[in-house]
Amino acid sequence: MAARSASRPPPARRPHVPLAGADWLASASRFPHSVHALWAEDPLATVILPCGTAFDVIDAPMLFGRRMLDRLWSPAGPGSGPVAAQRGRLLLFAAPGTAQRLPALLAWEEWGGEGRTAPPPLLSYGTGDAVTVPPLCPPPAGLEPTPPASRWLVVPDGRSPWLPAADVLLWACVRAARATPVPTPAAG
């Protein structure tokens, strides 16, 4: 697991995706110049991009996804790649191949032991799938719906952002699931 610097804090919300991050996102498309042209015309546009070449995406329910993200950005964690929030879900951008490998690793993990809960179902988007990415810029104040339909929590900030692989996301998933309190039946 490639570790981030222990002194580097989790990123604050950076509202704008820099040009290098936009280049990386557009590189997922078969027509990156068309994606750039769309964003040049409307930086508030959402774009549907294919998965499997530049990135895969792991889609988690918001609460569990935030727990995973907390583990990834803990002092023992490696950090994360780009992360988006979209309609009550968290989209974790991951290394290509993760969408195929992570479900098998999760199935292999022994869930449901004493004091342990299984994670909620995660959706994996890889080769043959596509995702809608948030706009490069947030809408002007007062024009953004509440809650925002789609926004970056961790923006892609370079042409080659670090992307967690399946083993890193398994690590975060296991720790997030173990930290989730197990409901106890009411005494009757």
Q: Is the pLDDT of residue 93 over 70?
A: yes
pLDDT at residue number 178: 84
Q: Report the mean per-residue pLDDT for the chain.
A: 85
Q: 50, 130 in Cβ contact below 8 A?
A: yes
pLDDT confidence band for 146 (50 / 70 / 90): low
Token duo for residue 56: 């895969």
- Would you say the C-alpha torsion 164, 120, 57, 99 has a positive or negative sign? positive
pLDDT confidence band for 109 (50 / 70 / 90): confident
pLDDT digits (tens, 9 = 90+) for 26-55: 999 999 999 999 999 998 899 999 999 999
pLDDT confidence band for 12 (50 / 70 / 90): very low
Q: 146, 11 in Cβ contact below 8 A?
A: no
More confident residue, 148 or 95: 95
* Side-chain-facing half-sphere of 62: CA atoms under 13 Å: 10
pLDDT confidence band for 138 (50 / 70 / 90): confident
* Cis bond upstream, residue 134 (ω within 30): no
Domain ranges within the chain, ordered by starting residue: 19-138+147-179
pLDDT at residue number 32: 97
